[in-house]
Structure 1
Amino acid sequence: MTQSIVIQVGQCGNQIGCRFWDLALREHAAHNKNGVYDDSLSSFFLNVDSRHEHPVSIRVGDGKSKVRTLKARAVLIDMEEGVVNELLKGSVGELFDHRQLITDVSGCGNNWAVGNKVYGVRYREHISECVRRAAEQCDCLQCFFITHSMGGGTGSGVGTSILQLLQDDYPDVYRFVTPVYPSNDDDVITSPYNSVLAMHQLTEYADCVLPVENQALSEICEKINQALPTDNFGKRVYGATGKAKAGTAISSSDAGSGKKGSEKPFDQMNNIVANLLLNLTSSSRFEGSLNVDLNEISTNLVPFPKIHYLVASQTPLYSLLDLKLPPRRLDQMFTDAFSREYQLLKADPKNSMYLACALMCRGNVEISDIRRNIDRLRPSLKFIHWNTDGWKTGLCSVPPVGQPYSLLALGNNTCVRHTFSDLRDRFSRLYKRKAHLHHYTNVDGMEMSLFSESLESLSSLINEYEQLEKTVPESIPRLQIAR
Structure 2
Amino acid sequence: MTQSVVVQVGQCGNQVGCRFWDLALREHAHVNKKGLYDEALGSFFRNVDSRKCDGEAHVVGGRIQHLKARAVLVDMEEGVVNEILQGPLREMFDSTQLLTDVSGSGNNWAVGHMTYGSAYREQIVDKLRKAAEHCDCLQCFFLIHSMGGGTGSGLGTKVLSLLEEEFPEVCRIVTSIYPSAEDDVVTSPYNSILAMRELTEHADCVLPVENQSLVDIVKKIKHMSHSGKPGTVIRRESAIISGQGGLIGAEKPFDAMNNIVANLLLNITSSARFEGSLNMDLNEIAMNLVPFPRLHYLVPSLTPLYTLADVSVPSRRLDQMFSDAFSKEHQLIRADPKHSLYLACALMVRGNVQVSDLRRNIERLKPSLPFVSWNQEGWKTGLCSVPPVGHSHSLLALANNTCVKTTFMELRERFTKLYRKKAHLHHYLHVEGMEQSHFSEALSSLSSLIEEYQQLDATKGRLMPGAPRLRIAR
Q: Same fold (TM over 0.5)?
A: yes
Q: Secondary structure of the residue that 1:211 maps to in structure 2?
A: strand
The structure-2 alpha-carbon separation of the partners of 1:287 and 1:248, relative to structure 1 and needing over 3 Å to count, comes to closer
* Offset of residue 222 of structure 1: 1.1
Residue 309 (structure 1) aligns with: 297
One-letter code aligned to 2:420: K
Query: Aligned match of 2:454 in 466, 469, 473?
Result: 466
One-letter code aligned to 1:40: A
Residue 352 (structure 2) aligns with: 364
User: Alignment identity in percent?
Assistant: 66
The structure-2 alpha-carbon separation of the partners of 1:350 and 1:231, relative to structure 1 and needing over 3 Å to count, comes to closer
Query: Aligned match of 1:250 in 241, 252, 261?
Result: 241
The structure-2 alpha-carbon separation of the partners of 1:70 and 1:326, relative to structure 1 and needing over 3 Å to count, comes to farther
Asked if the contact 1:48–1:68 (Cα under 8 Å) also holds between the matched residues in 2, the reply is no
What is the distance in 2 between the residues matched to 1:185 and 1:108?
21
Task: Please list the CA deviations of residues 135-177 of structure 1 after superposition, one character each: whole Å capped at 9, or x if unmatched.
Answer: 0000000100000000000000000000110111000000000
Residue 215 (structure 1) aligns with: 212
Asked if the contact 1:283–1:396 (Cα under 8 Å) also holds between the matched residues in 2, the reply is yes
What is the distance in 2 between the residues matched to 1:326 and 1:143?
39
Asked if the contact 1:221–1:249 (Cα under 8 Å) also holds between the matched residues in 2, the reply is no
What is the distance in 2 between the residues matched to 1:155 and 1:323?
41
One-letter code aligned to 2:6: V
Residue 19 (structure 1) aligns with: 19
Choose 331-340 or 394-403, whichever is displaced more: 394-403
Q: Superposition pairs for residues 52-451 of structure 1, below 5 Å?
A: 69-228=66-225, 230=227, 238-239=234-235, 244-245=236-237, 248-257=239-248, 259=249, 262-318=250-306, 327-451=315-439
Residue 31 (structure 1) aligns with: 31
Task: Please list the CA deviations of residues 295-341 of structure 1 after superposition, one character each: whole Å capped at 9, or x if unmatched.
Answer: 1110100001111000000101137x978786421000000000000
One-letter code aligned to 1:217: L
Asked if the contact 1:27–1:400 (Cα under 8 Å) also holds between the matched residues in 2, the reply is yes
One-letter code aligned to 1:73: R
* Offset of residue 229 of structure 1: 5.8
TM-score, L = length of structure 2:
0.91
* Offset of residue 250 of structure 1: 3.0
One-letter code aligned to 1:227: M
Q: Secondary structure of the residue that 1:370 maps to in structure 2?
A: helix
Task: Please list the CA deviations of residues 38-86 of structure 1 after superposition, one character each: whole Å capped at 9, or x if unmatched.
Answer: 000001001002789xxxxxxxxxxxxxx97100000001000011101
One-letter code aligned to 2:263: N
Task: Please list the CA deviations of residues 423-454 of structure 1 after superposition, one character each: whole Å capped at 9, or x if unmatched.
Answer: 00110111111010000000001011100100
The structure-2 alpha-carbon separation of the partners of 1:36 and 1:85, relative to structure 1 and needing over 3 Å to count, comes to same
What is the distance in 1 between the residues matched to 2:315 and 2:194?
42
* Offset of residue 470 of structure 1: 1.4
The structure-2 alpha-carbon separation of the partners of 1:433 and 1:399, relative to structure 1 and needing over 3 Å to count, comes to same
What is the distance in 1 between the residues matched to 2:380 and 2:245?
37
What is the distance in 2 between the residues matched to 1:461 and 1:189?
24
One-letter code aligned to 2:243: S
One-letter code aligned to 1:256: L
Q: Secondary structure of the residue that 2:288 maps to in structure 1?
A: helix
Asked if the contact 1:353–1:413 (Cα under 8 Å) also holds between the matched residues in 2, the reply is yes
What is the distance in 2 between the residues matched to 1:389 and 1:341?
25
Asked if the contact 2:233–2:309 (Cα under 8 Å) also holds between the matched residues in 1, the reply is no
One-letter code aligned to 1:382: P
What is the distance in 2 between the residues matched to 1:69 and 1:323?
38
What is the distance in 2 between the residues matched to 1:248 and 1:285?
17
One-letter code aligned to 2:428: Y
Q: Secondary structure of the residue that 1:250 maps to in structure 2?
A: coil
What is the distance in 1 between the residues matched to 2:334 and 2:220?
14
Q: Secondary structure of the residue that 1:403 maps to in structure 2?
A: coil
What is the distance in 1 between the residues matched to 2:18 and 2:422?
38
* Offset of residue 402 of structure 1: 1.7
Asked if the contact 2:5–2:141 (Cα under 8 Å) also holds between the matched residues in 1, the reply is yes
Gapped regions of structure 2 (runs ≥ 5): 53-63, 465-474
* Offset of residue 230 of structure 1: 4.7
What is the distance in 1 between the residues matched to 2:348 and 2:245?
30
What is the distance in 2 between the residues matched to 1:318 and 1:212?
19
Asked if the contact 1:73–1:134 (Cα under 8 Å) also holds between the matched residues in 2, the reply is yes
What is the distance in 1 between the residues matched to 2:98 and 2:182?
32
The structure-2 alpha-carbon separation of the partners of 1:150 and 1:360, relative to structure 1 and needing over 3 Å to count, comes to same
What is the distance in 2 between the residues matched to 1:435 and 1:454?
17
Asked if the contact 1:49–1:68 (Cα under 8 Å) also holds between the matched residues in 2, the reply is no
Task: Please list the CA deviations of residues 239-277 of structure 1 after superposition, one character each: whole Å capped at 9, or x if unmatched.
Answer: 5xxxx43x74333135111x3xx2012110011000000
Q: Secondary structure of the residue that 1:115 maps to in structure 2?
A: helix
What is the distance in 1 between the residues matched to 2:145 and 2:97?
17
Residue 47 (structure 2) aligns with: 47
Q: Secondary structure of the residue that 2:125 maps to in structure 1?
A: helix
